[in-house]
Amino acid sequence: MRSFVAFGGNLGYVADTFRAAAERVAKLPQTRIITRSRLFSTTPVGSRSTNPYLNAVAAVATELPADEFLARLHEIEHDFGRRRTGRWGPRTLDLDLLAYGDHISTTPELLLPHPHCWYRRFVLDPWSDIAPGFVLPTLGESVGSLLKRLRQRPLPIAALDDIANAEVTASIAALPEVEPQHDLAGDPAIIFSMSSGGPRERIVNLSMASDPAVYALDVLRAALDEPRPIMDSRELPRQQS
Provide the annotated active-site residues: 82, 91, 94, 96
CA angle in degrees (0–180, nearest 5) for 9-90-211: 125
DSSP code per residue over 74-140: HHHHHHTT----STT---S-EEEEEEETT--EEETTEEES-TTGGG-HHHHHHHHHH-TTPEETTTT
Q: Which residue in 15, 4, 1, 28 sits closest to 142, CA to CA?
A: 4
Are the CB atoms for 69 and 62 separated by under 8 Å? yes
Q: State whether residue 212 is helix, strand or coil.
A: helix
Q: Tell me the HSE value of 10 on the side-chain side, using a 13 A CA sphere.
A: 16
Calpha distance 213→185 (Å, rounded): 24
Neighbour tally for 81: CB within 10 Å = 13
Calpha distance 38→232 (Å, rounded): 5
Are the CB atoms for 53 and 41 separated by under 8 Å? yes
Q: Which residue in 10, 225, 15 sits closest to 122, CA to CA?
A: 225
Calpha distance 39→236 (Å, rounded): 10
